[in-house]
Structure 1
Amino acid sequence: MFRNHFIPGAPESQHFVQPGGSPGCALRQAYVQQAPAMATLFSNLDGMLFRCLIDEFWTLLSVSPGCYGLTGYRAEDLVGNRQNSLESLTHPEDRAAVRGTILAALDTGSRYSIEYRIVCRDGEEKWVLERGVGLRDEGGLRLLEAYLEDITDRVQAQIQLAETELRYRSIFESAVVGMFQSTESGRYLAANPALARLYGYPSPEALISSLADIASGLYVDPQRRDDFKELIQRDGRVTDFESEIICCDGSRIWIAEHAHAVRSSDGTFLYYEGTVEDITERHRHQSVLQHQATHDPLTGLPNRNLLADRLAQAVQLARRKSGKVALAFVDLDNFKVINDSLGHAAGDQLLIEISSRLRTALRGLDTVARYGGDEFVLILGEQVSPDDTKHLLERVLATVQAPLELAGHGLRINCSIGVSVFPDDAQDLDGLLRVADVAMYHAKESGKGQYCFYTRDLNQAAQDRFALETALGSAIENNELTVVYQPKVDGGGRVRGFEALVRWNSAGQGLVTPDRFIPLAEETGQILAIGEQVLYAACRAAASWPLVDGQALGVAVNLSARQLREPGLLALVSDALAVSGLPPECLELEITESMIMGDMEHTIRVLKSIKGLGVRIAVDDFGTGYSSLAYLQQLPIDTLKIDRSFVSGCNRGGKAMAIPHAIIFLGRSLDLHIVAEGVETEAEREILTVCGCNEFQGYLFSRPLQSAAVDAYLQAIIA
């Protein structure tokens, strides 16, 4: 640290004082003259530079002039004086800790730093920071060189801060309003008793430990947490931020939050801080007023004012999912006759009854509104296919037509329905209503008690669907379906297995793509027979394949959602393995993400039973569903397959590679095997390999092969 720094004969202010005749005098005479500039530097230091023996007293050999300002002792009072040694200066309560820290550092040959108290000449206690290092002088004697500086002001400031925090904690704990601090990721850092009581938790600690994620665990609408953060980012704070939340006992209340972001001196975000109040009663009153403005007073259904908003929401969702929305214009048949003959009171009662029936017939995501008189409008969201809409409309007709008793009379009411579809027929409410009204009148003219679409295209589609369903049934019976196999290769291009895929070349329909007949087979239940045929064919084929590089090749077979729900699935898989002689570890069953998120407990039981056979489980098209990632830790999954939509163009990097990279990282963190589908370029394969992908499928390696072509493909590899 500082060596050979004494200047014999120089004034005390220019060097470390070492009075003659004291212990260590012979050692001090060995030190050589120090440069004047260094002596001046040492004399101007506020703290105390020193050198001491490593003994029971920490006997001082030399000190800088700053010792007087720090301790009240002059250099000649300290150097060589065991009564005023460094040990005696150290506060008695701190001596053991100081000695232990220094000796531990000396044992490892490292520098040390320690804060402790000293007792000055006048009895004042000061906090000091000592930093130093051990060394040996020219004679081999072990010494300590260190610097002691006064940090009393800093420590006192810390004590004052702690006291201030204690006072703040008292206010925090005693406040009658809820108070909190939370992280950006959505965990509570602190909560006061008032907030715990508001949310129904027995203590703040229980609240903090129970709510691991504020977005999903507290807010009824998890999106509110993102809204909260966006507003603070934009405005610096939120005021009267209203949300519905779920209490500990499952009840719901409305709250208003007032919060801001707390940042460090350099602007770094630390946490959110704010208050919460219960506004349930206020919100309930506002809701009553809002309901009166947007709902029909007779039936309680949404009125025209709310209808446009509900349609806008359904359209927005349809655009996001590239889906469709159906609008049905419902008119009661012969309502005027009933109203005139039985009276307006009976007519009102009839409208109330029909309103209730329409609600019952629809799903929770649909809307039924009273348009006026005996006219109702239905908004049917998320219509994937025309058949979805038809099933709903048929249920509406059957529900409305059920017998009822009105004013002592038994009646059977019919209705006529006109249907328009967004975006096919119109883009807005007025346009959809106009064409639906035209279709409704066509339904009345055609005999009433039925529905009619604005165009005839859907009727033609229904006929085509029926023809396809009939042809598919014949294909299953006549074994027209074939199984093809697409290779799966590792990073070195070596084939490791195949995926079995079903194909249909119909005598009457021509080549029918899987995206046409598989969904139909799922809906009609024909997928069970198809799945069974594919499973047995794939197992037989895989059992006949030769070893490649001394390893047996595996085969992957897709399971359908219906198969997963079938009680005989385990027996079917076991029999297919037994009949074919295929080792269980060579079979991999693929399920899609959406199949998992139904009955989770049932899915776990089924997959674990299959896994018990030794069969591998893969999740296909991963990342395309809307499910939580939590199931990855619960299910016995071996493989994740990255959907081709994320693979295409991933070599461009940036956003194109973000999702594949995230899936690979997630999968490897969970020790899962990663397979990329739809690889078509060498650049895609290279970047996926670098990221850690294990296997690849796609046209870059091979198109799906007929069974005979697989044999030739493998023979070429072996040769």
Structure 2
Amino acid sequence: MSTVFANLEGMFFRCLVDEYWTLLSVSPGCRELTGHAAQDLVGNRQRSLEALTHPEDRAAVRGTILAALDTGGRYHIEYRIVCRDGEEKWVLERGVGLRDELGRQVLDGYLEDITDRVLAQIQLAETELRYRSIFENSVVGMFQSTENGRYLAANQALATLYRYPTPESLISSLADIATGLYVAPRRRVDFKRLIQRDGQVSDFESEVICRDGGRIWISENAHAVCAPDGSLLYYEGTVEDITERRRYQSVLQHQATHDPLTGLPNRNLLQDRLDQAVQQALRQANKVALAFVDLDNFKVINDSLGHAAGDELLIEIARRLRHALRGVDTIARYGGDEFVLIMGEQTSREDTQHLLDRVLATIQAPLALEGHDLRINCSIGVSVYPDDAQDLDGLLRVADVAMYHAKKTGKGQYHFYTRDLNQVVQDRFVLESALQRAIEHNELTVVYQPKTDAAGRVRGFEALVRWNSAGQGLVTPDRFIPLAEETGQILAIGEQVLYAACRTAASWPLVDGQALGIAVNLSARQLKEPGLLAMIADALAVSGLPPDCLELEITESMIMGDVEHTIRVLKSIKALGVRIAVDDFGTGYSSLSYLQRLPIDTLKIDRSFVSGCDRGGKAMAIPHAIIFLGKTLNLHIVAEGVETEGERDVLAISGCNEFQGYFFARPMQHAAVDEYLRSILN
């Protein structure tokens, strides 16, 4: 019996009912449980059962035991103990009070280690709480429904979508989804048939009837949840209101020629409006003025007040432009914060100046936005038909040159195109030609900036292109990349960088037993190229780089062109095994609903949000929100532009996975990378 007693897990004990719970005897299991030998515990008030008990739990333990002693019953209680090495363990104590042979009141009890069970329960509770929080607080409608058409669960977003005050009222009121929700009688049948065939439905669009009788269009993404034996338990999914999208589809012609935000004509309508103004000018022997308007410091306002405020500002500017000009004039949104004005019936420069003065005064009038009093300026470049050019492209080109000159010389003014400004055009042409030669003669080089974890361990690199021109000197990327995008030269540059980066990364040694990844930027033009997928596959094959070591970065603004096309292309790239990252996240106009559908692995926090985030408060609000969003979607989070230890630390604490920036290392040439890797491996 003593052998069995000695080998039992846990600790049997007898202790006095005193202020210390002084131990009178303990079983050998005490060492495994507490780290203390039996002789160190028995009779030792410094290592009594009270001393072993976690300070926060002592009062509850004593209260439970004393209450049991008063009633003469047995007791059991779960609490924490502190072991010899400082480790905390959860234990279950069972015991009973009695009198020993000396007549003293004692406890006979048993302590069992239940740490694994308690921690598992805590983790399960936290997981369930996070899931419930996401479910209840999501802005996207979420549901669970039975096969026969009843809702088991719904969140507030879904109830609101269907015009019900609460999820409970939605669940109780809709007894049959097939007949009570869908307009088309067989739509629920189609839903079930697709899930039975594929296990899920994606972008399942239907017209539904809301509680108030109104109708909306929805898109559902759902899947079947099955028991271990394969039997169906319920359907689970999300619902998105796509009524506006369907409405837009019915007015495609209008959308093709008008900006959806401001309602102004877009660039597609400019040629027709210019033709009309030119014909009128020819009949009346006068001229047409074209003004290229660019808002000053719009990005600063957009970044500081948010994209919603930026959109509101653009709408207000469009309204003011309509008010400033005449009915015969055309106002078009050319893109971003750029507008084009076509002003016909101009008999003299004074006529045009009068209109432009009115435009400037109207735009510069005080503006209240998001609780802020603002004064907006704009820079305007002006060209005149037929003096400066004979067609739309020519007029836009020289007006853009004049606008750049107006912005460069002080902003908040307009400038007419003159022949003297031809030098600007010539400089641009020279730079474009030099860039073409640089591409053809491999004058561009690729440098690599490390991406590290919070401890500074390198996990990969980002490939960046640099140009040190024989005739131009060092040309910064902000000068030649936008030019390359406009001219299409970015396609050749992107191809060179991709192949070079894959070859270089394939030669790197393992670090901590892992292959290093390489991130390469994709341009908007590349994303539209039909041969992109074949080029990526060939670059991997030629270099021998494993696909999962390549990460392709797209900017957030690139997503918002042809969204469906972007999703198809990215899914095809993902099928190769390549990772996808969204760069400069938070600076574009993308909808979070699209983020759920994009096959992405990584979110990169833009340097504009990283800078100064260690100040906390509002400075950390956006990075914290991006990290929380990314973690919720199970995405890898990378912060770029980290320049201080404080920025690194606060982002790491918030859950950021990787970092890049001057705090860790500047971009370096291929040879320097090899030396850098040797230094960290030795």
Q: TM-score when scaled to structure 2?
A: 0.49
Structure number with greater Rg is 1
